[in-house]
Chains A and B, each alone.
Chain A
Amino acid sequence: MSRIQRDVVILIVVAIFIGVAAYFAFPLSKTNLGLDLQGGLSVILEAKDTSDENFSGKMDRAVEIIQSRVNKLGVAEPEIQLQGGSKISIQLPGIDNPEQAMEIIGKTAVLEFFDVKDFGTPYASEAEALAVAGVASADDLPEGTELIFWPVRGDAASDQYFIVSAEPALTGDLLKDAQSSFESLNNNPKVDMQFTSEGADLFAQVTKRMAETAQITGQDQLLAIVLDGVVESAPRVLEEISGGNAEITGKFTREETQNLALVLQTGALPIELQAVSQNEIGATLGKAALNQALLAGLVGVALVIVFMIAYYRLLGVVASIALIVYAILFMGILNAIGVTMTLPGIAGMILTFGMAVDANVLIFARMRDEVAAGKTIGAATSAGFGKAFRAVFDCNMTTIITAIILFWAASGGIRGFALTLGIGVALSFLTAVLVSRSLLSVLSGWSLFQKRKLLGLHIPHAKTLSPDEGGRS
């Protein structure tokens, strides 16, 4: 196969790739946009205690639970991933109510029912509770009991303290379902819960025992309902409750009961998580950022093309074609593998438009050297590509290496930058070398492509240059 035939084949293959890429790339609105471009909420949760046994299993389970909570929130295309073992990254694009989402996704939602150990009313302060128990500090409490706190909403003065058995009588694991509803008496929002059959039996047992104790002692028996270590309510138990239904009342708002019902439905997180980074972006802001970035990209590409054609004439045109081929292939690849485009990602892409033609600049400069040294255009082309290759390769490699390191080190949107930079430089290396080379070779038959001046291979301001004197530059 002759050189030209080979180049024709290469171009045909590239054309097929362009077709496939264009299918994936267009319309550009298909591209997944990151939160910074469409608005939304991004949160990174980190486990508070990583020394837990079966830690990674618990993290996996936590991801599943958060996933189901997010699904119940009705967010389109959420992204929830484990990050580096102890972190969970959550991306919720286009969310209306980020505060609610924060309330829900990170809530541990450990529900516990405690048998309150003291008799009579709860204590008004920690000191009082400890005094009654006859100990100096919470650490000295009798084995099997502990002090818990009930912050009464909106009224710090009426905070209450309880001493309870340390082992919860019942936990949220035994819940089957939960819903938000209203108290029939005063229409206050509340949460209804249904236990599983095992839970229902246990709940009946516990309440039966407490009711009996109340009858014998004549003292009210309280069942403290504790969510994430905080007492939500502490109803009196008057009789055995069978049938497996329970409710949490309190001074909740409607939204709070809905959130609570939701987290109870999805179960408690097996591990306590806290938000270490949180980013919330308004939709208009994202849209504006996208438009600005796109404008910058278009202007950037236009400037590069104008520069290349002004300086290298027809060769510049070839480089520009290679650049456009690169852009289409790049968008195709990004959309085909489903990369989410972030604002820094677009910045990386725009930057690669400038770097992509660097290879052509180096190659064309070599071609000028060769032509100046008296070579024919054809010979100069192959020598130019051949001799520039090493430098072009090394240059691209250093950028790819740093992009890989950055991808490893970065989080969030910056990863998008590393990704587009890395993929872009690797791909543009192919297009700048392969596509422009084959194009030049195929076009070399055309008389226009035999004119040094049109090709930009003439030597500007050259006075005289005898062939035997020609040097390289």
Chain B
Amino acid sequence: MRVVPFMRYKWWFVGSLSAVTVFAIVAIFIVGLDLGIDFKGGVRMQVGLEQEATENDVRSVVRELGVQEPVVQTVKGASGTYSFMITAQEMDEAQQGAVEAALESKFGVDEGSFAVERVGGSFSKETTNRAFIAIAIAVVAIIAYLTLRFEFKFAIPAIVSLIHDVGLTLGIYAATNRLVTAATVAAVLTILGYSVHDTIVVFDRMRENTHLMKRETYAEMADLSIAQTVVRSINTSVSTLLPLVAILIFGGPTLNDFAFALTIGVITGTYSSFFVATPLAVILKEREPRYRKRLQAAAAGAGAAVDVGTVADAVSPKQGSKAAPAAPGGAKSNAAKPQQTRVSQKPKKGKTTSKRPPGKGAKRTSR
């Protein structure tokens, strides 16, 4: 296991990814999200035609009947050979019947592959409001839960990384003109719940390592925690991505929307837990006096070098906090006379490449 001193670049990570988040959010506002009828009201009609037709054919049929600004799209993978989605903000039932009849006479409509969805203005407004309220409640609930189980200083970074995940997901929707539907909102909420998983995994390890590492700076401890959890976090994300990819490929047009948003969210959720949540947590925690002291001590002893490898020794499970006298004892004595003891341990290590004083990992273990 190589401990990469990511946290030395914590500001860099937080800064650049925050910039990405801000950029995505600005893009959402400038380009605008393509909101579906779930949020604007209107009519969405799907027709399977028996004879060949193009989008333009269908569009002109719909236009001729006086429907304003119809959007006509080909539906891939739907049952009818020539399937189209016709969306319009205004199309009354008479017009809808006329469109159906006109398409029937020109191209033949497959009755079974016909679908209409009609959403009223007040209903769509309520859907929009509920979407916002639900997301707000979810954010508050996650902050509350993480505060309860961890601490507030962990909840904030977790939420900031969630904002990154959701912002980027919606930013991609805006940039690619993808239609935002009620399913997208469901996906966003799921991202909120799921993307925090990887953050919990690394924070859980940080919480544990805090008890085992009494001397190291918070950044070193965070780097070690990342190194210890990165592979499993990627694996959990992969295991979740696999079914999502299956839905993307085979799941049909309706589910595609779910899977697309979730796929982005799961991917961003993985790296943001390491590069947004963890650095932010380090920044917040290092403001606490005890970690600031350690930081100063580390800076003072920079020449002497702190090797995270030794840190990991102190933390190794067989000498875990409960069972092993070695670790706590070691930690205590180390605390009494900082730095030197640890440096002296270094030669025992397989690798001693700690040119950079703090946080260069020399440990390897499993993943």
Using a CB–CB cutoff of 8 Å, the interface residues on chain A facing chain B are 36, 39, 44, 46, 99, 102, 274-285, 287-289, 292-293, 295-297, 299-301, 303-304, 307-308, 311, 343-344, 346-347, 350-351, 353-355, 357-358, 361-362, 365, 368-375, 383, 387, 390-391, 394-395, 397-403, 405-406, 408-412, 414, 417-418, 421, 457, 459-460, 462-465, 467, 469-473
Q: Mark B92-109, 1 if CB is under 8 A from A, else 0.
A: 010001000000000000
> Is the pair B112, A391 in contact by a Cβ cutoff of 8 Å?
no
Q: Mark B130-167, 1 if CB is under 8 A from A, else 0.
A: 11011001100110010001000000000000000000
Query: Using Cβ atoms and an 8 Å threshold, which residues of chain B touch A46?
Result: 120, 122-123
> Is the pair B241, A354 in contact by a Cβ cutoff of 8 Å?
yes
Q: How far is the CB of B119 from chain A (nearest CB, A)?
A: 5
Query: Using Cβ atoms and an 8 Å threshold, which residues of chain B touch A276?
Result: 119-120, 122-123
Q: Mark B185-200, 1 if CB is under 8 A from A, else 0.
A: 1100110111011001
> Is the pair B79, A285 in contact by a Cβ cutoff of 8 Å?
yes
Minimum CB distance partner of B162 in chain A: A398
Q: Most chain-A CB neighbours within 10 Å: which of B119, B145, B196, B236?
A: B236
Q: How far is the CB of B147 from chain A (nearest CB, A)?
A: 12
Within the assembled complex, what's the spacing in Å between the Cα atoms of A41 and B142? 37
Within the assembled complex, what's the spacing in Å between the Cα atoms of A341 and B77? 21
Within the assembled complex, what's the spacing in Å between the Cα atoms of A11 and B258? 36
Within the assembled complex, what's the spacing in Å between the Cα atoms of A406 and B78? 28
- Kindly list the 8 A-B residue pairs having the minimum CB-CB distance in the complex, ordered from nearest: A284-B112, A300-B243, A402-B193, A409-B134, A292-B252, A276-B120, A300-B246, A276-B123
> Is the pair A471, B119 in contact by a Cβ cutoff of 8 Å?
no
Q: Most chain-A CB neighbours within 10 Å: which of B123, B196, B247, B258?
A: B247
> Is the pair B316, A462 in contact by a Cβ cutoff of 8 Å?
no
Within the assembled complex, what's the spacing in Å between the Cα atoms of A355 and B238? 10
> Is the pair A303, B120 in contact by a Cβ cutoff of 8 Å?
no
> Is the pair B350, A464 in contact by a Cβ cutoff of 8 Å?
yes
Query: Using Cβ atoms and an 8 Å threshold, which residues of chain A touch B348?
Result: 469
**Contact stretch, chosen from B24-32, B287-295, B359-367:** B359-367
Within the assembled complex, what's the spacing in Å between the Cα atoms of A46 and B245? 39
**Contact stretch, chosen from B9-17, B59-67, B225-233, B275-283:** B225-233
Q: Most chain-B CB neighbours within 10 Å: which of A44, A308, A403, A473?
A: A473
New A-B pairs, 12, CB < 8 Å, besides A284-B110, A391-B200, A394-B149: A283-B112, A293-B252, A297-B243, A303-B242, A350-B251, A351-B190, A354-B242, A357-B236, A361-B232, A362-B201, A394-B204, A472-B315
> Is the pair B250, A299 in contact by a Cβ cutoff of 8 Å?
yes
Given known A-B contacts A288-B78, A406-B189, A296 and B255 have beta carbons under 8 A apart: yes
The reply on B51 being an interface residue by CB < 8 A is: no
The reply on B341 being an interface residue by CB < 8 A is: no
Q: Most chain-A CB neighbours within 10 Å: which of B134, B145, B315, B365?
A: B365
> Is the pair B186, A473 in contact by a Cβ cutoff of 8 Å?
no
Within the assembled complex, what's the spacing in Å between the Cα atoms of A102 and B186? 28
Q: How far is the CB of B285 from chain A (nearest CB, A)?
A: 19
Q: How far is the CB of A433 from chain B (nearest CB, A)?
A: 15
> Is the pair B247, A350 in contact by a Cβ cutoff of 8 Å?
yes
Minimum CB distance partner of B205 in chain A: A391
Within the assembled complex, what's the spacing in Å between the Cα atoms of A229 and B125? 29
Using a CB–CB cutoff of 8 Å, the interface residues on chain B facing chain A are 1, 46, 48, 77-80, 93, 97, 110-120, 122-123, 127, 130-131, 133-134, 137-138, 141-142, 145, 149, 182-183, 185-186, 189-190, 192-194, 196-197, 200-201, 204-205, 208, 227-229, 231-232, 235-236, 238-247, 249-252, 254-255, 258-259, 262, 312-313, 315-318, 348, 350, 363-367
> Which of the residues B118, B186, B363 comes within 8 Å of A417, measured between beta carbons?
B186
> Is the pair A405, B141 in contact by a Cβ cutoff of 8 Å?
yes
> Is the pair A399, B193 in contact by a Cβ cutoff of 8 Å?
yes
Given known A-B contacts A274-B120, A292-B250, A354-B240, A362 and B79 have beta carbons under 8 A apart: no
> Is the pair B365, A472 in contact by a Cβ cutoff of 8 Å?
yes
> Is the pair B240, A351 in contact by a Cβ cutoff of 8 Å?
yes
Q: How far is the CB of A320 from chain B (nearest CB, A)?
A: 11
> Is the pair A362, B236 in contact by a Cβ cutoff of 8 Å?
yes
> Is the pair A398, B255 in contact by a Cβ cutoff of 8 Å?
no
Minimum CB distance partner of B195 in chain A: A398
Q: How far is the CB of A310 from chain B (nearest CB, A)?
A: 11
> Is the pair B243, A351 in contact by a Cβ cutoff of 8 Å?
yes
Minimum CB distance partner of A473 in chain B: B365
> Is the pair A343, B78 in contact by a Cβ cutoff of 8 Å?
no
Minimum CB distance partner of B251 in chain A: A296
Query: Using Cβ atoms and an 8 Å threshold, which residues of chain A touch B317?
Result: 369-370, 373, 375, 383, 470-472
> Which of the residues A275, A297, A397, A471 comes within 8 Å of B313, measured between beta carbons?
A471
Query: Using Cβ atoms and an 8 Å threshold, which residues of chain A touch B236?
Result: 357-358, 361-362
Q: How far is the CB of B274 from chain A (nearest CB, A)?
A: 15
> Is the pair A296, B249 in contact by a Cβ cutoff of 8 Å?
yes
Query: Using Cβ atoms and an 8 Å threshold, which residues of chain B touch A390?
Result: 204
Within the assembled complex, what's the spacing in Å between the Cα atoms of A211 and B199? 85
20 A-B residue contacts at CB 8 Å? A44-B123, A275-B118, A279-B117, A284-B48, A285-B46, A296-B252, A296-B255, A303-B246, A344-B254, A358-B236, A373-B316, A373-B365, A374-B318, A394-B204, A401-B145, A402-B138, A405-B138, A406-B186, A409-B130, A410-B186
Query: Using Cβ atoms and an 8 Å threshold, which residues of chain A touch B251?
Result: 292-293, 295-296, 347, 350
Query: Using Cβ atoms and an 8 Å threshold, which residues of chain B touch A414?
Result: 182-183, 185-186
> Which of the residues B116, B182, B241 comes within 8 Å of A278, measured between beta carbons?
B116
Minimum CB distance partner of B44 in chain A: A279
Q: How far is the CB of B141 from chain A (nearest CB, A)?
A: 5
> Is the pair A473, B1 in contact by a Cβ cutoff of 8 Å?
yes
Within the assembled complex, what's the spacing in Å between the Cα atoms of A418 and B110? 32
Query: Using Cβ atoms and an 8 Å threshold, which residues of chain A touch B244?
Result: 300, 351, 354
Query: Using Cβ atoms and an 8 Å threshold, which residues of chain A touch B201?
Result: 362, 391, 395
> Is the pair A399, B239 in contact by a Cβ cutoff of 8 Å?
no
Within the assembled complex, what's the spacing in Å between the Cα atoms of A373 and B327? 14
Within the assembled complex, what's the spacing in Å between the Cα atoms of A412 and B246? 24
> Is the pair A412, B182 in contact by a Cβ cutoff of 8 Å?
yes
> Which of the residues A282, A369, A405 comes within 8 Å of B113, measured between beta carbons?
A282
> Which of the residues A383, A397, A460, A473 comes within 8 Å of B228, measured between beta carbons?
A473
Query: Using Cβ atoms and an 8 Å threshold, which residues of chain A touch B142?
Result: 398, 401-402
Within the assembled complex, what's the spacing in Å between the Cα atoms of A99 and B252? 27
Query: Using Cβ atoms and an 8 Å threshold, which residues of chain B touch A402?
Result: 138, 141-142, 189-190, 192-194
Within the assembled complex, what's the spacing in Å between the Cα atoms of A300 and B240? 9
> Which of the residues B119, B130, B238, B318 comes within 8 Å of A277, measured between beta carbons?
B119
Within the assembled complex, what's the spacing in Å between the Cα atoms of A401 and B145? 9
